[in-house]
Amino acid sequence: MVNFFGLSVEELGRELATGDPRVFRVGQVLRWVYRMGIDEFSEMTDLPVGLREHLGARLTLNPMKTEDTRVAGDGTVKFLYALEDGAGIESVLIPDDGHFTLCISTQTGCSMGCLFCETGRAGGGRNLTAGEILSQVVYGFRYLGERLMLRNLVFMGMGEPMKNLGALLPALEMILDQRVLDFSPRRVTVSTCGWVPGIDALGRAGLDVNLAVSLNAADDATRSRLMPVNRTYPIGQVLDAVRRFPLKKGRRVTFEYVLIDGVNDRPRDARGLAALLAGIPAKVNLIPCNTTTSSLKGSPEGRARIFQEILVEKGIVATMRASRGDEIMAACGQLKNQPTEKRYDRKNHKRETA
Ligand code: SF4
């Protein structure tokens, strides 16, 4: 069976034409799938029965199996999906002012080896297909019951998105296409560990999505220790690529900075970071390091606050991100395709059960 979500609008049109040559059928099917979250062709009641059977015999709207769903006390939901070949991926729904942000994976593991990241520590995997990327978005809003409950998409899950642009770019086109998922580019963020050719390629694609860079240090020695990619693309090259990135007026590039106790959280690191970002339309997301299997610990709250204050004093927009979903290993840097231990119980409405 072919993954429906791997088809572009044009490919879907060709597929439908083999069962019914009328063009308006494309819009009908797209609406059922991408607006209403219908997961069976048989439920598309305004399509002829013959066409529904034709599609149902060739395409699947359920290309992944939801192996586990865990809900944290703060409402964060982590999904573990089994892909067709048995590989596992996770995506995370994060409550956000009455709506949700979905954190999406682009690979089944990650070879970039960032020290603070559970996915990186678990090692490399394969690239997801465009259909597997898009499936996570559709499964996310199916769970919520309504496409509009999903407000933001962030490519910050398992894997380095810029190493899988061959699938990410067509998936983004479907996400932004008004006939398909119709997300505003302002609501979509692609995050990178600093893979310079990917930053340039994303800029050339002209999709106007947001860029986030996981920086985590103000000097190359510390960054190379935390993030091996820095040995290939040191900070200066990453920031040059950011300066080249086409940015719409009023938009900023987000720099993520995981605060690690005694490693990158000194006042002089904050001053160094402010100096690096001078002249770049930037905002800094400070993230206290979450629990992983590494020995790294998050900065004490007081030191984290001083770090933030120094940035703000230097004119840098800096927010402290509250860690979400820590207890279910759904927070930043904690994703890996481990089986989860607790299951979602629909009767108990989003409460974690033993
Ligand atoms: S932080 Fe991102 S790029 Fe680094 S190892 Fe983890 S998933 Fe890979």
Out of 83-92, 116-125, 187-196, 278-287, pick the least confident. Answer: 116-125
Q: Which residue matches tokens 């259909």? A: 131
Ligand 1 center to residue 180 CA distance, Å? 29
* Percentage of the chain modeled with pLDDT above 90: 80
Q: How far is CA 6 from CA 60, 152, 166, in A?
A: 10, 21, 12
For the chain, first and last CA: distance in Å? 35
Which residue's C-alpha comes closest to atom 5 of ligand 1?
A: 120
Out of 260-264, 340-344, 346-350, pick the least confident. Answer: 346-350
Q: Is the pLDDT of residue 152 over 60?
A: yes
CA neighbor of 157 nearest in space, from 204, 110, 227: 110
User: Which pLDDT score, from 0 to 100, does residue 150 have?
Assistant: 97
Report whether residue 88 contacts ligand 1, using a CB cutoff of 6 Å. Answer: no
Domains of the chain as residue ranges with CATH? 2-60 (1.10.150.530), 65-353 (3.20.20.70)
**pTM higher than the cut 0.85:** yes
Burial label for 9, CB within 10 Å (0-12, 13-18, 19+), is: middle
Q: Catalytic positions, please? A: 90, 332
Q: Is the pLDDT of residue 329 over 70?
A: no
Between residues 310 and 117, the one the model is more confident about = 310
211 Cα distance to chain centroid: 12
Ligand 1 center to residue 158 CA distance, Å? 7
Report whether residue 277 contacts ligand 1, using a CB cutoff of 6 Å. Answer: no
Average pLDDT over the chain reads 90
Half-sphere exposure of 38 (CA within 13 A, CB side): 17
Q: Is the pLDDT of residue 21 over 80?
A: no
User: Which pLDDT score, from 0 to 100, does residue 273 have?
Assistant: 98
Q: What angle do CA 161, 172, 79 make, to 5 degrees?
A: 65
Q: Is the pLDDT of residue 244 over 60?
A: yes
Q: Is the pLDDT of residue 14 over 60?
A: yes
CA neighbor of 52 nearest in space, from 39, 65, 42, 62: 42
Tens-digit pLDDT profile for residues 252-306: 999 999 999 999 999 999 999 999 999 999 999 999 887 665 788 999 999 999 9
- Distance, in Å, from the CA atom of 62 to the CA atom of 37, rounded to the nearest integer, reads 11
By most ligand atoms within 8 Å of CB, the mutation choice from 127, 189, 193 for ligand 1 is: 193
Report whether residue 287 contacts ligand 1, using a CB cutoff of 6 Å. Answer: no
Report whether residue 115 contacts ligand 1, using a CB cutoff of 6 Å. Answer: no
Tens-digit pLDDT profile for residues 91-118: 999 998 899 999 999 999 999 999 988 8
Q: Is the pLDDT of residue 234 over 80?
A: yes
Instruction: Quickly state the pLDDT bin for 323 (edges 50, 70, 90).
Output: low
Q: Is the pLDDT of residue 345 over 50?
A: no
Which residue's C-alpha comes closest to atom 7 of ligand 1?
A: 159
